[in-house]
């Protein structure tokens, strides 16, 4: 394998870090047995090239020792077990976070111990000790919050001690680690909050956490919220099989979250050990923190606490190897695979569009809309939104003045679908043949087509697009209406629209923040419901199953199939929407986007698909194809299309993937260069 291919297939090269959460079997008050199980799981994590392996609270001794914590034999046995783990870690890559009781200067602390490659990096005591209901931790332990100690002597070394420690891997960008213990995250301001503000990206919680009814849900909510509020990863592990069940029960619940997204979770109530392994995207976290001014303001607001945090540097020395990515990368970042989430996404998108248009009509004083209906995806969805808006405003659907405007290449199928849809929705409909006015303009500018030559260049196409829009604006003025735009986010990103007097312009565009892939699913979602009649739903399915084409260039006279297929020119929308999301939303470089796309798209049989994608439409792509269409995207997006985005009409922002409005998520120079991005694409191998 070439060096470039090795780099491309290395997750650490793309800003990921592999993490593991272990749930070992324990025996109460048996440190020798427990340390053996911890070492075994640590070796498994090392075999998977993990940078971190997290273990439960007090896993060296077991959490349920009670007054045995005051026994010399147990405390001395724990020290022997810790030394054994430190020695075993010499040949292991991951940082090990283990839980143990430590007697320090006459007090006993519930501690997390960070171990790496044969040495202890630091010791973190538990800050908040629960002493209510079933918990009696203050009976045995002292809080590390106000203990006054910053260093401890352990095994002949002076080690950093306190909850205010970040472990910083100097050879892995953005890998900064913090540990807190169980109850710490249940408080109003967990120690990890200040650690995150000080730069920690991977927050961990060594927990024991017995299980009661509905507690697992609450734990999940806590971890999700803390990871989201801190713009961080949050790893959590609870005690499992082997803890005493005298009064309590244990479910072995481990989770890994990344900025509110759950990456993985263990199966609960198993009587066997588990190792949960997931790859965290550190670059994503760094990108989000850089953008979020609120996060940076919070750093300044709490600067006393933030500056008090200590950083302990170490070298991880990760193994550079080709590793399959251990996290789910959705093929459709705008379209959830989970049926419930997909239903919610479609519901919210649809209603955002409807409410945006309703407000525009109310505030402008207009009660009529003019829209061009081609029988394609975008105008179909915009027409559906318009119809529902009229219903909400208690205005007649006849106030929608819908026009289909066939040109030189309009197919019978799309024209028939346009008429059928307009009729089924009960809007005012009419057909205007734009060919005579187009011929006049082509003749006026002395285009070769006007002399009988089969020249179908960009001018030929734009004359048709411009004539349609010109008609719509004049019709709007004549009928005291506004022009409803139909172009979608994907076309805006790729510059696939005719500037100015063309499909680029309207009075209000409901689709401007909705990508093509989501529009396809929205139409299928609407067709599967009872929003409209059964006949309307049949037409919608027919439209969404039609090949995407601008229908501007004539084809074979004996065929009704379109001569132009949009995706053969600008690329498959499912790939280009993927590229758009990760480049505009997160600022990822082309090699990383290609790496992610390969993981998501290389095998159609792997991973989840949205239920609205038929089996026959489930595609896969090679790295060579991914690389080619990524190059097309970067050239079109960065080099030739920004001037169109700088003059977009109004329209509602729909998703966190953003809009490309110059008044919203994307402000960029119209004369920027694509050189940097195209140069990086050269580093992507053509074959994986």
286: tokens are 């760094």
Which of 271-285, 319-333, 350-364, 670-684 is least confident? Answer: 319-333
- The percent of residues above 70 in pLDDT, for the chain, comes to 99
pLDDT value of position 566:
85
Give the other-Cβ count within 10 Å of 569's Cβ.
12
15: tokens are 């800003």
- The percent of residues above 90 in pLDDT, for the chain, comes to 89
SS3 168: strand
Residues 619, 602: Cα–Cα separation, whole Å: 9
The torsion angles phi and psi of 430, rounded to 5 degrees, stand at -160, 155
Residues 555, 375: Cα–Cα separation, whole Å: 18
pLDDT value of position 655:
84
Total length of the chain: 688
Element (H, E) at 422: helix 412-425
Residues 284, 15: Cα–Cα separation, whole Å: 8
Burial class (CB in 10 A: 0-12, 13-18, 19+), 660: buried
Residues 508, 284: Cα–Cα separation, whole Å: 33
Is the dihedral angle over the CA atoms 661, 667, 673, 678 positive or is it negative? negative
- DSSP assignment, residue 161? B
Mean pLDDT on 312-319: 95
Place of tokens 């405003």: 393
pLDDT > 90? residue 324: no
The torsion angles phi and psi of 664, rounded to 5 degrees, stand at -125, -120
Give the other-Cβ count within 10 Å of 214's Cβ.
8
Mean pLDDT on 571-598: 97
- Beta strands 369-372 and 400-404 are parallel
pLDDT > 90? residue 614: no
pLDDT value of position 688:
74
Closest CA to 99 of 137, 61, 50, 138: 61
pLDDT value of position 557:
61
Instruction: Find how far residue 81's CA is from the centre of its chain.
Output: 41
Write out pLDDT tens, residues 445-476: 999 999 999 999 999 999 999 999 999 999 99
Instruction: Output the 3-class SS for 327-374.
Output: CCCCCCCCCCCCHHHHHHHHHHHHHHHHHHHHHHHHHHCCCCEEEECC
Residues 126, 120: Cα–Cα separation, whole Å: 17
Residues 112, 182: Cα–Cα separation, whole Å: 11
- DSSP assignment, residue 262? E
> Does 126 participate in catalysis according to the annotation?
yes
Residues 238, 260: Cα–Cα separation, whole Å: 19
Closest CA to 357 of 510, 497, 506, 475: 510
Give the CA distances from residue 233 to residues 15, 56, 257, 437, in Å, rounded to whole numbers and listed in that order: 13, 17, 5, 60
SS3 275: strand
pLDDT value of position 503:
93
Residues 467, 89: Cα–Cα separation, whole Å: 73
- DSSP assignment, residue 66? G
The torsion angles phi and psi of 28, rounded to 5 degrees, stand at -65, 125
Write out pLDDT tens, residues 395-407: 999 999 999 999 9
Closest CA to 521 of 414, 686, 642, 654: 654
636: tokens are 């079109």
Write out pLDDT tens, residues 207-257: 999 999 999 999 999 999 999 999 999 999 999 999 999 999 999 999 999
Task: List the catalytic residue out of 57, 461, 467, 551.
Answer: 57
pLDDT value of position 561:
63
Q: What is the mean pLDDT of the chain?
A: 95
Give the CA distances from residue 106 to residues 109, 124, 467, 630, in Å, rounded to whole numbers and listed in that order: 10, 17, 87, 63
Contacts of 232 (CB under 8 A, 6+ apart): 192, 196, 200, 201, 202, 203, 226, 258, 259, 285
Mean pLDDT on 405-433: 95
- Beta strands 428-431 and 508-509 are unpaired
pLDDT value of position 564:
67
> Does 619 participate in catalysis according to the annotation?
no
pLDDT band at residue 201 using 50, 70 and 90 as cut-offs:
very high
Residues 314, 42: Cα–Cα separation, whole Å: 19
* In contact, 507 and 484? CB cutoff 8 Å: yes
Element (H, E) at 482: strand 482-485
Rounded (10°) angle between helices 573-580 and 516-527: 120
Angle at 572 between CA 620 and CA 561, to 5 degrees: 110
Closest CA to 583 of 684, 660, 673, 516: 660
* 309 vs 688, residue with greater confidence: 309
pLDDT value of position 146:
82
Write out pLDDT tens, residues 627-641: 999 999 999 999 999
Residues 194, 174: Cα–Cα separation, whole Å: 17
- DSSP assignment, residue 268? S
Residues 266, 257: Cα–Cα separation, whole Å: 12
Contacts of 462 (CB under 8 A, 6+ apart): 498, 502
- DSSP assignment, residue 613? S
Give the other-Cβ count within 10 Å of 156's Cβ.
5
Task: Render 74-90 in DSSP notation, one character per residue.
Answer: HHHHHHHHHHHHHHHGG
Task: List the catalytic residue out of 182, 223, 346, 634.
Answer: 182
Write out pLDDT tens, residues 144-174: 988 889 999 999 999 999 999 999 999 999 9
> Does 182 participate in catalysis according to the annotation?
yes
């Amino acid at each position: 394998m070439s060096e470039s291919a090795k780099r491309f297939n290395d997750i650490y090269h793309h800003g990921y870090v592999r993490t593991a959460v272990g749930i070992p079997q324990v025996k109460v008050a048996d440190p020798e047995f427990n340390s053996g199980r911890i070492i075994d799981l640590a070796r498994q994590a090392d075999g998977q090239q993990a940078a971190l392996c997290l273990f439960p609270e007090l896993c060296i001794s077991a959490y349920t020792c009670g007054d045995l914590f005051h026994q010399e034999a147990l405390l001395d046995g724990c020290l022997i077990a810790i030394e054994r783990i430190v020695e075993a870690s010499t040949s292991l890559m991951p940082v090990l976070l283990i839980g143990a009781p430590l007697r320090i200067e006459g007090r006993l602390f519930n501690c997390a111990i960070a171990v790496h490659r044969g040495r202890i990096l630091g010791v973190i005591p538990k800050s908040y000790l629960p002493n209510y209901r079933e918990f009696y931790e203050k009976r045995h332990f002292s809080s590390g919050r106000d203990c006054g100690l910053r260093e401890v002597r352990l095994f002949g070394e002076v080690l950093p001690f306190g909850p205010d420690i970040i472990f910083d891997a100097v050879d892995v960008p953005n890998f900064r680690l913090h540990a807190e213990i169980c109850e710490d995250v249940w408080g109003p301001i967990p120690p990890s909050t200040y650690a995150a503000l000080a730069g920690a990206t991977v927050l961990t919680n060594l927990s024991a956490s017995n299980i009661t009814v509905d507690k697992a849900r609450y734990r999940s909510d806590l971890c999700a919220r803390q990871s989201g509020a801190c713009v961080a990863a949050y790893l959590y592990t609870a005690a499992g099989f082997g803890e005493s069940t005298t009064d309590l029960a244990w479910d072995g619940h481990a989770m890994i979250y990344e900025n509110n997204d759950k990456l993985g979770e263990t199966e609960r109530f198993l009587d066997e050990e588990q190792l949960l392994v997931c790859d965290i995207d550190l670059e994503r976290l760094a990108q989000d923190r850089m953008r979020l001014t609120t996060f940076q303001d919070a750093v300044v607001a709490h600067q006393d606490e933030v500056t008090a945090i200590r950083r302990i540097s170490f070298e991880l020395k990760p193994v550079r190897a080709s590793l399959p990515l251990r996290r789910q990368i959705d093929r459709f970042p705008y379209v959830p695979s989970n049926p419930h989430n997909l239903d919610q996404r479609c519901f919210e998108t649809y209603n955002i569009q409807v409410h945006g248009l309703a407000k525009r009509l109310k505030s402008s004083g207009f009660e009529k809309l003019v829209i061009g209906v081609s029988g394609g995806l975008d105008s179909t969805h915009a027409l559906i939104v318009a119809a529902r808006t009229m219903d909400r405003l208690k205005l007649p659907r006849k106030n929608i003045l819908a026009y289909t405007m066939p040109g030189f290449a309009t197919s019978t199928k799309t024209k028939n679908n346009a008429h059928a849809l307009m009729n089924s929705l009960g809007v005012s409909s009419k057909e205007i043949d734009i060919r005579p006015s187009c011929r006049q303009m082509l003749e006026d500018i002395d285009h070769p087509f006007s002399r009988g030559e089969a020249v179908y260049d960009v001018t030929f196409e734009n004359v048709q697009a411009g004539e349609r829009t010109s008609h719509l604006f004049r019709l709007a003025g004549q009928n005291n209406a506004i022009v409803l735009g139909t172009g979608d986010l994907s076309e805006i990103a790729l510059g696939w629209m005719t500037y100015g007097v063309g499909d680029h312009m309207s009075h209000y565009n409901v689709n401007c923040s909705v990508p093509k892939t989501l529009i396809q699913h929205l139409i299928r979602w609407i067709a599967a419901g009872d929003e409209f009649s059964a006949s309307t739903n049949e037409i919608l399915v027919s439209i969404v199953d039609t090949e995407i084409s601008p229908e501007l260039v004539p084809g074979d006279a004996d065929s009704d199939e379109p001569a132009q297929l949009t995706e053969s020119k600008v690329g498959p929308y499912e790939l280009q929407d993927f590229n758009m999301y990760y480049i505009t939303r997160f600022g990822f470089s082309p090699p990383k986007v290609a790496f992610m796309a390969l993981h998501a798209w290389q095998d159609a049989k792997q991973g989840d698909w949205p239920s609205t994608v038929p089996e026959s439409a489930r595609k896969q792509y090679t790295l060579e194809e991914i690389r080619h269409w990524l190059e097309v995207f970067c050239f079109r997006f960065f080099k030739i299309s920004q001037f169109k985005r700088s003059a977009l009409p109004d329209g509602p922002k729909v998703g966190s993937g953003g809009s490309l409005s110059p008044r919203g998520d994307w402000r960029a120079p119209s004369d920027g260069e694509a050189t940097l991005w195209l140069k990086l694409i050269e580093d992507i191998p053509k074959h994986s």
